[in-house]
Amino acid sequence: MRAQSWWVLAAGAMTVGCTTPAGDDENVGQAEEASVVCATGGTVLGIDVSYYQSKPNWKAVAGAGMRFAIARINDGSFIDPVFDYDYQGIRDAGLVRGSYQFFRSSHDPIAMADLVIKKVGKLEPGDLAPVLDVEATDGASAPQMVDKIQKWAAHVEQGLGRKPIIYSGRYFWDDNVKSSALKDYPYWIPEYTSDTCPNLAAAWNHWVMWQFTSTNNVAGIAGHVDTNRFNGGELGLQDMAANGYRASIGSLDYPRTLEAGKSGMVALKLKNEGARSWGGKTKLGTSDQRDRKSPFAAPTWDSPSRVVTVEGTVKHGQVATIQFHLVAPAKTGDYLEHFNLVEEGAAWFSDIVPGGGPSDTAIALSIKVVAASGGSGAGGGSSTSTGTSTGTSASASTGAGAGAGAGGNDASGGAIGSGEAPGDPSAAIGEQTAKGSCALVPGDGDGAAGTAGAWLVGVALLGFRARASRARAGRGEASRADRRRAR
């Protein structure tokens, strides 16, 4: 990108930076009555490059303390010949990466946006949204500029799923665009000054990046390079690059069938793939209509829409094991329940930046609720089948062979790891368990129900009325105990 200071313009014209805009080059150094806005948190350094920096040694750039880099795609019809090298090299060096396109009003904005979408492809964790570098009018009026920029921005956002970033200096924007129509887009301000805070265009009251010099020297790059501060520190940078709050699903075990009013156990493993740790504000909540009251809410839940709070601290790379009860609703039928992680006071994981996740539909429980068993006659036990996120399944029969009155017991079969994805690191990493969780119910038959069945056989063989009466009383107590367990 290129910008000039007021004293340079007064003396004539001197090109700095990495683009070659024609005509009305931006004045980025003037400072009159202004909207001076300081960083709201810590800042980290990064650079922006084009073929003017040749082919940087990206490992050396990362070693010099840079945390992000943004590479040029094109300027009008000129495609930057080293973009592909830069874009891949930035990722390989472990830096947050981005891309930018120099805006030309003489070109179709949709065609320009399509070029960006094609060159960038799918945005991954660690990628910033593309930037539109607005510092030339090429003869367009302010309304024409606004119309074309809006069309470009909307098309890129639709194609890549994130709001693009607008780069433009205060005086260029205020004099040539004269609009706050794009104020909701992240703003990158170029201003070369020794001041500690930049001077923003009137449309914005916050900046995400500040290009404060074009003459920095950075290891791995021959000559000068534009250098920038990111507003928000390392974690803010990772958030914006879809790499802040992010989880992957290791395994999910739950009962596929539940009797109305009865309880079952869910065991969910989530790995922290993001830069931020999880803790007391990280919760599992109902999703795919967020904050709804779940028909399966149990008394052990934090609330009808918040299942559990993650206990302790789950750092990057660690696995959280979340276990919780479900209580089946009275109405029978097929249910599809969705859950997701939410950082209270911040955002849902899938919203902090699209591309993070998981999505609101990724943690899905498909459960059939059946009528409660009658409680009399042989074979009165119920069965539940347990599904897993990896497509494998396990089933457990409860009360098998139990006599009258032993129905209604259920269990979620299988240990936590029964559906675990291959290579799950939890065996080597200390696992964190969600607050209010319970141990899994073993998948074997109910021993008490089997004992009751043996009593019934004895009654049938011996035919003693007194023993039959005592057995019925025992079965009634067992049934009450089952209801207590369900509650």
Cα 70 versus chain centre, distance: 22
Cα 65 versus chain centre, distance: 26
Catalytic residue among 26, 33, 124, 135: 135
Q: Which long-range contacts (CB under 8 A, 24 or more apart) does 63-66 make?
A: 63/219, 63/220, 64/218, 64/219, 64/220, 66/95, 66/218
Please say whether the beta carbons of 213 and 204 come within 8 A.
no
124 catalytic? Reply is no
**482: amino acid identity, one letter:** D
Helix, strand and coil in the chain, % to nearest 5: 25, 30, 50
* Cα-Cα-Cα-Cα dihedral sign, residues 439, 441, 447, 452: positive
Which DSSP symbol is given to 32? S
> What distances in angstroms separate CA 182 from CA 132, 452, 458, one per listed residue?
12, 72, 82
CA dihedral 25, 31, 33, 39 (to 10 degrees): 100
Which DSSP symbol is given to 299? T
Residues classed as catalytic = 135
